[in-house]
Structure 1
Amino acid sequence: MEAVGTQIRVQSLVGEGAVPPQYVQPLETRTQRVVGCRNDNEEPSPPVIDLSDDGNSVHKQLGRACSEWGAFHVINHGVPVELLGEMRRLSRSFFEDCAMDQKLSYACDPTSPASEGYGSRMLVASNDTVLDWRDYFDHHTLPLSRRDPSKWPHFSPDYRKVVADYSDQMNALAEKLLCLISESLGLPSSCIKDAIGEFHQNITVSYYPPCPQPELTLGLQSHSDMGGVTLLIQDDVGGLEVLRDGKWVLVNPLSDAIFVILADQTEVITNGQYKSSVHRAITNAKKARLSVATFHDPGKTKMVSPALKPPKYRHVMYGDYVSSWYTKGPEGKRNIDALLLQ
């Protein structure tokens, strides 16, 4: 339904009663889950790690989580839970309380991937790409030279301040986590962060409207994130799944927790000892779902290579990796697999 250059958003399709063909997933990628259910201990769940625990305990837990899952919750993380709530509240208000013409005044460039603003389409290179049942708002927040709050919504008076505060808190937590993850491998605490360099941080609010045929769609297709580490919060609806041992596992929302997702460059830097997490979002027919993902990535000119020997991955300039990801599409981990040395 949304071709390059148009202004159509998924939220405007909710009342049509049927999913337009551009959003219908192939049979092999559709969810088999009863949409709206919870993971009630019938399947394993990503671990929950208390960052206030003793250092050795945290390192062991992180090592296990990073090697077995590539994703985990953190609690007692130091980010005010009130700020998490405000970020969710204001983000939802943009999608649900603003008129479409107000939202479109912040539309992103539909011909450029990852451009800042309000959009619906992740990939722009191909018109035959199956579209995600999702709208989003992407904020460019770090380095400060990229941060221009005038490009962020102003309809809630404190929106821009909350986003800036949230950006700074997520930046500090991402640095702390990468230090702990480095130490869990016996590496110097600054190893992974130094290998990534100055964070290029984006905050992407994803809004998944109710879907009339959720069994046919995905809110976000299967992929691993491109950069260093992603910090994500959800509302209470649920719909995030991570892939483990070939099976999709539903991640129950934890309101005061932050979900940590290792991305591809961290897998390269740790030489595959820690894996980036393949994940996706499913939809449901009754409730809109909201999540906020904060990406911490290298700069485009940063050369990334393994910190451990012998290397299992070839080095790559991050900008080239990003271009490949957006040109070929994600499809799980095929982009990082292309870096494996034979």
Structure 2
Amino acid sequence: MESPQRVQTLAESGLSLLPEEYIQPPDLRPNRSTDTTTFAATVPIVDLASSHGGPLPELRRACAEWGAFHVVNHGVPLRLLDAIRGAGLSFFAAPMAEKLRFACDPASPASEGYGSRMLAKDDGVLDWRDYFDHHTLPESRRNPSRWPGFVPSYRDIVVEYSNSMKELAQKLLHLISRSLDLPPSYIEEAVGEVYQNITISYYSPCPQPELALGLQAHSDMGTVTLLIQDDVGGLEVLKDGEWVIMQPLPDAIVVILADQMEIISNGEYRSAQHRAIVNSNRARLSVATFYDPSKARKIYPAPQLINEHRPAKYREVLYGDYVSSWYSKGPEGKRNIDALLIQ
């Protein structure tokens, strides 16, 4: 299969009209006339250093009502957040010939490397985004030779960032378990051996941002996603039918609950539907760390959260089957998890 056109190449060619394959249907386009900034202050902020009983009340509300929130005092060194963002920017600023040496397989949407297309099928609208995906956990999947060596310290930074994100994810899973009145290790044990991917996304300036999306609306398929942004902004979360911008907070990390978390919590916590919008003036960079089960893992609602007043909401699913469905059907909101609902 021919390698697809890179969005960055299109953006830098000086085109004034968006190519047809990037134009979203009218009902999916960002509504630029809606002022979402008034909602920004309501996006929850969870302080992991919180005293007076700890962060559990705020965490419970954020997980139940939003499925996405900022965490502060998270313990990840701030110099490491800057380092991974800087490494990503250096990669995308490099000559195309250098970047293409690390191109992922366009026929395999989950392959590691430099790409532009989330799904293998060609009949959908394309996202205005390029990315580099790294396979980082379990460590047997780590092969730094597949990562750019021409950016100074890039490979070391990714490894250190992977380890720090693992520690933070484990801390969050323990807190989320406790907030559900489950044993602290419950969700971690339910997920089993963790598969972690780190995706650095680059959203180039777009000639007609009102027609495009950097990332189409979807909920993540795994357990939890930890994301950092730059100061440009563009991440939106769906809350009560409205798209709410998650304004970048200096030094904060965005936590996005994914579909397996909703299943394990028996629907008490929700996976967040989110998307990325673009602009005509500035490129935007984000770094998402996905913390997911192995494909051989069966995921089901925690028995402790099922009773006569709250029956099981979701069927058990083999995670590998869930991933296959997500990539074959496409994300499109939350239709993949909705397919597991017990009517």
- For normalisation by structure 2, the TM-score amounts to 0.95
Counterpart of 1:152 in structure 2 is: 147
Counterpart of 1:306 in structure 2 is: 301
Kept in 2, the 8 Å contact 1:232–1:259? The answer is yes
1:212 maps to 2:207: yes
Counterpart of 2:158 in structure 1 is: 163
Counterpart of 1:193 in structure 2 is: 188
Kept in 2, the 8 Å contact 1:7–1:104? The answer is no
Shift of 1:42: 4.8
SS in 2 for 1:253: coil
Aligned residues: 335
Partners of 1:73 and 1:55 in 2: CA distance: 19
Cα distance 1:171–1:42, how it changes in 2: closer, same or farther (>3 A)?
closer
Q: What is the percent sequence identity of the aligned residues?
A: 62
1:120 maps to 2:92: no
Kept in 2, the 8 Å contact 1:113–1:123? The answer is yes
Shift of 1:330: 0.5
Please point out which of 95, 98, 104 is paired with 1:102.
98
Residue type matched to 1:25 in 2?
Answer: Q
1:225 maps to 2:220: yes
SS in 2 for 1:11: helix
Partners of 1:164 and 1:206 in 2: CA distance: 18
Shift of 1:55: 6.7
Counterpart of 1:31 in structure 2 is: 30
1:50 maps to 2:51: no
Please show how residues 140-289 of structure 1 align to structure 2 within 5 Å. Answer: 140-289=135-284
1:92-140 deviations in Å (ceiling 9; x for gaps): 11002x100100000000000111000000001x221100000000000
Q: Which deviates further from its counterpart, 154-163 or 272-281?
A: 154-163
Counterpart of 1:88 in structure 2 is: 85
Partners of 1:279 and 1:178 in 2: CA distance: 21
Kept in 1, the 8 Å contact 2:4–2:116? The answer is no
Shift of 1:33: 2.3
Partners of 1:59 and 1:6 in 2: CA distance: 47
Partners of 1:143 and 1:220 in 2: CA distance: 27
1:2-50 deviations in Å (ceiling 9; x for gaps): xx52242000111222111000000000000259x8x543555321111
Q: Which stretches of structure 1, 4 residues or more, deviate above 4 A after TM superposition?
A: none
SS in 2 for 1:294: strand
SS in 1 for 2:173: helix
Shift of 1:199: 1.1
1:275-295 deviations in Å (ceiling 9; x for gaps): 000000001000000000000
For the aligned residues, what is the CA RMSD? 1.3
Counterpart of 1:76 in structure 2 is: 73
Residue type matched to 1:115 in 2?
Answer: S
Shift of 1:334: 0.3
Partners of 1:297 and 1:82 in 2: CA distance: 26
Q: Which deviates further from its counterpart, 301-310 or 98-107?
A: 301-310
Partners of 2:299 and 2:64 in 1: CA distance: 20
Kept in 2, the 8 Å contact 1:45–1:250? The answer is no
Kept in 2, the 8 Å contact 1:210–1:283? The answer is yes
Residue type matched to 1:20 in 2?
Answer: P
Partners of 2:58 and 2:37 in 1: CA distance: 22
1:22 maps to 2:21: yes
Residue type matched to 1:77 in 2?
Answer: H
SS in 2 for 1:273: coil
Partners of 2:72 and 2:40 in 1: CA distance: 21
Counterpart of 1:317 in structure 2 is: 318
1:301-339 deviations in Å (ceiling 9; x for gaps): 000000021311000000000000000000100000000
Residue type matched to 2:138 in 1?
Answer: P
Residue type matched to 2:275 in 1?
Answer: R
Counterpart of 2:57 in structure 1 is: 60
Shift of 1:272: 0.3
Cα distance 1:194–1:210, how it changes in 2: closer, same or farther (>3 A)?
same
Counterpart of 2:328 in structure 1 is: 327
- For normalisation by structure 1, the TM-score amounts to 0.96
Counterpart of 2:7 in structure 1 is: 10
Kept in 1, the 8 Å contact 2:39–2:245? The answer is no
* Structure 1 unpaired stretches of 5+: none
